[in-house]
A and B are shown apart, each in its own frame.
With several copies, the nearest count.
Chain A
């Protein structure tokens, strides 16, 4: 299978869906000629024109609201939100307007739109350009939240997101745009709500989202060297959340560490731990453990920033303690 970058995979997903359905369009800041600052949408405007690849002013609440209106009337907008940190700016339109329309209208109105945005620290981008805000969005009923971890996933999940008839937010780790990985030539979709068991194990389950999946995989390698068998699961979508796969794994291993790059408190890891506790309680050999980003604004200084994010070594360390029963 050919290897392509994350950016190319995302680009293909958008282009294929725009070819497939004339109601699909993308809008955002510098998505056209500039192809976004991360060069993800390069080439789209040449193929689809400036009407369907729409450069907007710097008006996130405004164009998010317009996407809601366009989708209510039959379009399938993709909103390109340059940094995940700007989610705060579109929260009203996303949560009060998009998420609730279908329910408030008793099922009569639908809002098929996608917000593609990013997350992830360690780029020295400081507190307002480094946040991972997936938990905020997942808390709101009526929105789906995808968190791909590879080029393969970003393409498959994005295509599913665009065809979904509900509002979807897809978070990409900013560090992944240049990541390469195998992506089929043939069309494919990755369904929402199905976690991916990357590797089987018996001693502990490592559950990761987005780039934290790689952290879990690396931790599993470290653990393997120590004779500890870790099962690694990629959550893929946190809303809907594939509780079943996670619970079954933890019932088998009796232990789990949940890793996500959002702030730990009131975050994604809290929810997954709470559900595992409820569903797998009688199978647990050790407390469910979680590792999110530290509960601090992301610092700029290279001497500090990396300390705030979970690492493979840190995960492996905790895992060893859980498995050996050391506290």
Chain B
């Protein structure tokens, strides 16, 4: 385990803040959906917070990420504004994509988030191409490609990993193994070894506890620094868990995973509780401080929701704008 010192306190508190923000964001999004205030469908990131935050805290805002259908966590972690995010989820004009993208296409160019993607694995090429650009222009930006265990089924990933390896591109493939793709366990979808799939291309791989912010972040800091120096690409499997169903409507889940399993992860392996424990046990924060912290974030999220609910929809004239740029 990484040795933490008091120097790490601000970093840990910031991470705590970000993880709680994601959780609050999702709880609100879920509520909006269940009360029929949010259109479409959406996929909750709750439970996986340490992955997005652990990695994104190792990145600069000029570094890039690509995200997935389960992308709210990546978006928050990369620095997005909650109001603009909720506006997007509700299809409002002020949203990051003027309401045109919604939950599955939210992007935040200002912070280097190249966007969520509704095609599983669909962003692997985009991430690798962003890394190609860094190399071509001699920039030291790093790109992180987030994707789920299910995306290991997409051939595109192997094509671009091969090129990333051939050309030593500064890209980190972050496989969030929450053990399920929709309603199917990873063992039924992925033969052999997850990490060997990248090692085959000569890519250095790592596997880390995705619930442990400290571990994820330590590894990310190291790999990001090395990728900046041209030592990439890298591949990480982050073992994690999604608390909710595959999407908001996936309520009866016992046919594919047990209530006990869910309970175990929520109580024993919760990334926010685990980080709180680090902070409290080291006496770097009191539980009360953390609770106050959380309350403030709760309020911030609630405010963002009301703001978004009141915000105007785009004008009908926007419907055929932005098909082409001039």
Task: Judge A-B direct contact (beta carbons within 8 Å).
Answer: yes
Q: Report which A residues bind B (CB closer than 8 A).
A: 23, 25, 29-30, 33-34, 37, 51-52, 55-59, 61-75, 77, 85-86, 89, 92-93, 96-97, 101-110, 123-129, 141-142, 144, 165-166, 294-297, 299-304, 307-308
How distant is the Cα of A182 from the Cα of B283 in the complex, in angstroms? 69
Separation of A29 and B131 alpha carbons in the complex (Å) = 20
Question: Would you list which residues of chain B between 124 and 159 have a CB under 8 Å from chain A?
Answer: 124-134, 136-137, 143, 150-156, 159
| A256 to B94 Cα, complex, angstroms | 41
Bound CA–CA A57/B92 (angstroms): 35
B324 touches A58 (CB 8 A): no
Of the candidates B105, B143, B319, the one whose C-beta lies within 8 Å of that of A307 is B319
Decide: B182 and A37 in contact? CB cutoff 8 A: yes
CB distance from B300 to the nearest CB of A (A): 24
Is B125's CB under 8 angstroms from A300's CB? no
* Chain B nearest CB, measured from A97 CB (Å): 6
Whether A33 touches B255, Cβ cut-off 8 Å, given contacts A69-B125, A110-B325, A303-B314, is yes
Task: From A58, A86, A297, name the one whose CB has the most chain B CB atoms within 10 angstroms.
Answer: A58
Interface size class of B (residues with CB under 8 A): 35 or more
Chain A residues with Cβ below 8 Å from B28 are none
Q: Could you say which of A34, A57, A92, A106 contacts B98, with CB atoms under 8 Å apart?
A: A106
Q: Which residues of B contact A63 (CB under 8 A)?
A: 125, 159, 163
Is B175 part of the binding interface, using a Cβ–Cβ cutoff of 8 Å?
A: no
Given known contacts A62-B159, A300-B100, A97 and B153 CB-to-CB distance under 8 angstroms: no
B114: which of A72, A102, A123, A297 is its contact (CB, 8 Å)?
Answer: A72
Residue of B nearest to A127 (CB): B105
Q: Are B125 and A102 in contact (CB under 8 A)?
A: no
- By a CB distance below 8 angstroms, the chain A residues around B319 are 294, 296, 299, 304, 307-308
Taking A62-B156, A62-B159, A73-B64 as contacts, is the C-beta distance between A128 and B189 under 8 angstroms? no
Which residues in window 86-127 of B have CB below 8 A to A? 91-92, 95-105, 107, 109, 114-115, 117-127
29 contacts between A and B (CB under 8 A): A30-B184, A57-B153, A57-B163, A58-B181, A59-B159, A59-B160, A59-B162, A62-B155, A63-B125, A64-B125, A65-B125, A66-B128, A71-B129, A73-B134, A75-B133, A85-B119, A93-B125, A93-B156, A103-B322, A104-B105, A105-B101, A105-B109, A124-B40, A127-B105, A128-B117, A128-B122, A142-B324, A300-B99, A300-B100
Q: In whole Å, how far is A298's beta carbon from the nearest beta carbon of chain B?
A: 9
A103 contact set on B, CB distance < 8 A: 100, 322-323
B284 at the interface (CB under 8 A from A): no
**A52 close to B136 (CB less than 8 A):** yes
Which 10 A-B pairs give the minimum distances between C-beta atoms?
Answer: A65-B125, A69-B129, A62-B159, A106-B98, A300-B102, A301-B91, A124-B40, A303-B313, A66-B129, A301-B99
Cβ-based interface call for B295 (8 A):
no
Which of B137, B189, B324 is packed against the most chain A CB atoms within 10 Å? B324
A99 closest partner in B (C-beta): B323
Report the bound CA distance from A209 to B97 in whole Å. 32
Interface centre among B103, B132, B151, B255 (most CB of A within 10 A): B132
Residues of B within 8 A of A86 (CB): 119
Interface, chain B (partner A; CB < 8 A): 39-41, 64, 66, 91-92, 95-105, 107, 109, 114-115, 117-134, 136-137, 143, 150-156, 159-160, 162-163, 166, 181-184, 188-190, 255-256, 313-314, 316, 318-326
Say whether B188 contacts A55, CB under 8 Å. Answer: yes
Which of A70, A71, A73, A300 is within 8 Å of B91, CB to CB?
A300
CA A125 – CA B104 in complex, angstroms? 8
- Whether the Cβ atoms of A72 and B126 lie closer than 8 Å is yes
Q: How many angstroms from the CA of A325 to the CA of B183 in the assembled complex?
A: 56
Chain B residues closer than 8 Å to A73, beta-carbon distance = 64, 114, 129-130, 133-134
Contact indicator A125/B41 (Cβ below 8 Å): yes
Tally inter-chain residue pairs, CB-CB below 8 A: 269
- Interface contact A61-B129, CB-CB below 8 Å: no
Tell me whether A126 and B40 are in contact in the complex, defined as CB-CB below 8 angstroms, given that A109-B114, A299-B100 are known contacts: yes
B223 to chain A, nearest CB (A): 19
| Complex contacts, A93 vs chain B, CB 8 Å | 122, 125, 156
State whether B323 touches A69 (Cβ < 8 A).
no
Choose one: B152, B160, B189; the contact of A65 (CB below 8 Å): B160
Q: Which residues of B contact A59 (CB under 8 A)?
A: 153-155, 159-160, 162-163
A192 and B265 alpha carbons, distance in the complex (Å): 52
A55 to B120, CA, bound (A): 16
Query: B151 is contacted by which of A58, A64, A144 (Cβ under 8 Å)?
Result: A58
Contact B133 A102 (CB under 8 A): no
CB within 8 Å for A107 and B163 given contacts A62-B125, A66-B129: no
Is A129 within 8 A of B104, CB to CB? yes
Write out the residue numbers on chain A whose beta carbons fall within 8 Å of the beta carbon of B127. Answer: 69
Chain B, residue nearest A304 (CB): B319
Q: Which residues of B contact A68 (CB under 8 A)?
A: 125-126, 129
- How distant is the Cα of A260 from the Cα of B270 in the complex, in angstroms? 49
* Residue pair A61, B314 in contact (C-beta under 8 Å): no
The answer to whether residues A70 and B323 also contact, given A57-B189, A302-B39 and a CB cut-off of 8 A, is no
Q: How far is the CB of B88 from chain A (nearest CB, A)?
A: 8
B126, A300: Cβ atoms under 8 Å? no
- A138, B155: Cα distance in complex, Å: 26
Residue of B nearest to A75 (CB): B133
